[in-house]
Structure 1
């Protein structure tokens, strides 16, 4: 019998995952599916159930694999998609739908390569091997099994030893199919040794023992073959696994046929056929029917029973039609061989000759000359194929590298030119930007200097000039209001105020002139007492206000005198305004040091003010009107320039204290 290799390889896929449809396990998984939301656990359960139905119920197996695929696509679980595709391929191989199974395996391979998932990639390569073996492409099958073995050897886990044992079995099957019996037995023994170490693997152990029996059959050691197969059957009878038992029964039918024990051959083959029909594997069914037909034909020819001969012809004809449909060339050539024998017995020599010609055509086809080889030829062909692929790959790689070299040189040169141009452009832009930035800075500083200059003039000169104008108007319009003593006192005050005004104007104009081109602080040592003395003189016309100065430590500062003088003068001017209509108006200047910092404060007992009224001291967006002299704006900008911090404490009807904090 020639179809055993396919049967062996197909079964190995089942052994990897389960030992037949276990109702309890399936019920348990169905409960998980019912109670679990659409996630990876539910998808895995669908795939496990699909595996349980492998060879026992192909349609159910496909249905659950499709459910798993639909869910995996919905939740976009790549691994689940790969597993579902691989499960679909297993069932499609069993049905003989090789093209569709190839497409699904290619998709699964791509997913597991991208992950990467070495373990499941090993499973995909195993399925590729099974597919190619069933198509009669033994070198390709062997190549994939070796890839699978390498992947499983690179993984660690509870199933590693099991998967390696399975791949050894598949490799042994290929050697068996190519009639290299010595190495076939060696690999079966490796697989058997591993399965003996694993608990619950009696079925796998029995199937490897049975596979050795098929080797002995091909070596025409029929007694040893039958004994070995019966030993495997004994193990399987204790497991109650009917599907593996069906395979062994089929092989026993073949062995008894080869040993010319036709009645036992028919008995075992029919026993196997019932279970195999439940599985729905058409190729396997056809092979078993072929066995039954051949056994009936041989038995009838030997006994002269026309009934047996007719049964033989009937079964062989049925097998022929099924194998034509599936395209299994190996089974077809055996159908024609046995039918030629039948027609010869019936003395229909033309039909016998036609059948024999078909047998010869398939026997001499490329399929047989390429794949029915000895082990050495198989290994040599595989080595040659790999070497040819490597040579071609190396040639393509060298050509690509040569092209890449020139592309790289051209690209580097082009990038170099572009880089130089961009660098020059960047340098030119940088120089232009620097010039523009410098011009903008100078223009901005000039504008600020102009604004500050006019602010100072407006603010610091307004009050003295106003006092002078007031006195002159009073003298001109209401001279009768002034007696001689008052007139003399007012004249003295006016002269003193005018002199102070002149001095202030000279200071301001001289300082402003020096600052127009470079409005920056020029720090030097300044005595605090001199600052307050000059400010006191500036406000000498304010006779009704009592000025006090507290400077017990006679402090000195390292700062810009004019900046600080302008700040104090403006703050004092604001305090003077706040004291109008106040009884006993008082302004107190204080100076003291604390933690290496110098503090200057100006306190009045005026009406006080709200925080909003001092907003211009802190908020640069706050704009003061021209009539106010831009006083608070000026104070803020000048204080910022000399690194001076201003704190304000003001309470309505209780007065205001403004504190300057400087680093001395």
Structure 2
């Protein structure tokens, strides 16, 4: 059973609006019309922060106008505060470069005027920025800086946010016991200072970590308390988050009947209150899965329809769409509709491939992704966190040493000896840290390979076996329906062929995922095997595959590059066979200097290039050539065949 870890990302920006406070937005804006410059700009900042999560376009316009007014009226405190909030807008919108730019600008403005409270805000938000990008070391550095500054310049109550954020990083790293320790510290401060709106978030985070540790009874008790406190505080967003964590606990325990009413309440509540509706595709997917497992296929179909409507409204939800398509496919197969089942299964595979090609491939190679493949980054972040904590201890001890020397010169010799001893200890700590980092790098390489093998096995054992079962079932249906019309058999044959082709493409994807680098020798074997199969399937077609002398076996490609080269050849050859009815197909690969040239030629029917550039096949070839960083040329005329030339750096 898949687990969802819900992380509460806490930005610091003066005030977080609850649902009841949201009703005061219009009245606040009316107050701003007659208020003085400083008060009006602070109101704009708070309202702008609220709109970031409820009406982003309005937030952007309001903050832009307020920043311009702060500069014009020369109110530096408000300017720094507003620029910081503008950075939060871009971070929440996923525009990392702009977010980083405005956070750095806000930090420079606050430090220039020595606005310590804003400096702490910005440092914390920079930590959140790097956290969202998966840079755990940098995030921890900023959180520790913010914690140290807050202890010196502001109140103890403010430490709760930093304890919470550090706990969430340990939670991300899989250090659940340590995460609970920091979340408990945050919870104690929030209870001590009666922060009723923030207590549910701490309880929710503690419950999530207890689920990860499989302490289910304790987790259920804590999560129910989180739901109750959020409801009592009228914090609807936190109420739905806690309710989602509780429902996920029941899914983890394979209790779908208990999870279904909770996910249903979340859907209705978020829609009614218009709170984080984008997150609703996850409970929709879970409701389909739960109803499938209980045999309630008609109920599951209702949520499939709802999910399709939801994706039309939010088409950018790529990651959540993978699970939705997969569970929807199962529903259609269960209801005896293999055509739609196959179509939705293909959508799931296409969504996974887009995520792999567009976002995850480089992250897998570099271990920088947070999608279950970020173990190296987590291990390095753990080392960094331990070192940062030790450095804080060392700094405190050094402070005591220097203070002792300043108080009593008489003890100078003793202080020197103590200082020297501490310096040796620091060197030893540094050596231990370097050794730990080196060991972590070696270990994470092994873990990455294990992760890739595990993903490959999962793909082969689940999706591969399901597709094989579909093919077998279709063949059985064809045998059982031998007396039916030819159109039915023809449709079943097309579905079987489609499923078989999907298996081959899945195997190609597994082949690429299992490799950091693909050698030319390996790629050449893969291409030769494909052309050989094409020749067997099309015996009347003459195939030729030639490799230039300059293409040596020591040439290597990344897994993404290798897959793109292979797919271009596959797409071009299939076009020649299916659409051009070619008699001769030639594939040539050569290299001159740093450029590789890939040429696919056929003597088929050809086409007018201008009128055919919108086809899916040619679009795919153009996109993959662009992903290689290369150039593509397609030459064709009716009756004169087609020539596709792709050049790229090797």
Q: TM-score, normalised by structure 2?
A: 0.50
Q: TM-score, normalised by structure 1?
A: 0.49
**Which one has the largest radius of gyration?**
1
